[in-house]
A = this chain, B = another copy of it.
Amino acid sequence: MRPSGRNLSELRPITIETGVMGHAEGSCLIKIGGTHVLCSASIEENPPRWLKGSGKGWVTAEYGMLPRATNTRNRREAASGKQGGRTVEIQRLIGRSLRAGVDMRALGERQITVDCDVIQADGGTRCASITGGWVALRLAVNKLLKAGLLNSDPLVDHVAAISCGIYAGQLVADLDYAEDSEAGTDGNFVMTGAGNLIEVQMSAEGATFSRDEMGGLLDLAEAGVAELVAAQKAAIG
């Protein structure tokens, strides 16, 4: 019934290749089916100004899409002179999600910037960015740990995300573009490795949704995030 022939709860194939950006403290190329995102984590040994002297660090994220990541070419945001509303909204979500898994005091007065750049888009780029972004962050923090610059691990748990929604009247997991553009309701679920919730963003597009449907999507999300966390673990080794 799904355009891809997948079962309702079936995720697309996941691969996470690490170390793809040689200069970054942590990096990976995450592929969730046809959605490919390059993620890097950059450490700066200075916190943002408003945290100077607080003993705490910060994690932030930026998101971009290559102009031809999509079916038709989009204008380059650097050329149009500003980041679009969708970009801003997504990178704020990525940043909040990753920060929820970090003990800022354990990180100490430094900042880590996670860049997520979509090479190819086929739905779910913000979720792939969070899942891959966490891997880059993990690798960068590992470098700090190995260098003896941290007293304890500031990453308290995995963070991963999946989109689930209502397509053709059915609850389905990991929507691809063909489904996403037709879905009546679309949700993004960010969770920890332990299965706790970090962010839930559900939007009705065309039709409203009920609490029962919300529950069903959460069930799908829990199972999906568990798979994504397993892929993160395999990638980090």
Residues of A in contact with B (beta carbons under 8 Å apart): 20-24, 27, 34, 38, 40, 42, 44, 62, 64, 66-73, 76-79, 81-83, 85-89, 91-92, 96, 100, 113, 115, 117, 119-121, 187, 192, 194, 196-206, 208-211, 214, 218
Q: Are A40 and B68 in contact (CB under 8 A)?
A: yes
Can you report 29 residue pairs joining A to B where beta carbons are below 8 Å apart? A20-B119, A21-B119, A22-B34, A23-B70, A23-B71, A23-B121, A38-B66, A40-B67, A40-B68, A42-B67, A44-B73, A64-B78, A66-B115, A67-B113, A77-B78, A78-B87, A79-B83, A85-B88, A89-B89, A100-B204, A192-B208, A196-B208, A197-B202, A197-B209, A197-B210, A198-B204, A198-B208, A199-B204, A200-B202
Residues of B within 8 A of A24 (CB): 68
CA distance A40 to B23 in the complex (A): 23
Kindly list the 5 A-B residue pairs having the minimum CB-CB distance in the complex, ordered from nearest: A196-B208, A77-B78, A42-B73, A40-B68, A200-B202
Given known A197-B210, A208-B197, contact A21–B69 (CB-CB < 8 A): yes
Q: Please, which residues of chain B bring their CB within 8 A of the CB of A72?
A: 23, 42
Complex alpha-carbon distance, A73 and B92, angstroms: 19
Contact yes or no, B100 A38, CB < 8 A: no
Cβ of A116 to closest chain B Cβ, rounded Å: 10
Q: Is the CB of A66 within 8 A of B204?
A: no
Residues of B within 8 A of A71 (CB): 23
Contact assessment for B73 and A82 in the assembled complex, using a CB-CB cutoff below 8 Å:
no
Q: Chain B residue with minimal CB distance to A156?
A: B208
**A203: nearest chain-B partner, CB-CB:** B199
Q: For the complex formed, measure the closest distance between the CB of A124 and the CB atoms of chain B, giving whole angstroms.
A: 15
Known A40-B68, A201-B200, A210-B196; contact A89-B87, beta-carbon cutoff 8 A: no
* Contact A67–B115 (Cβ < 8 Å): yes
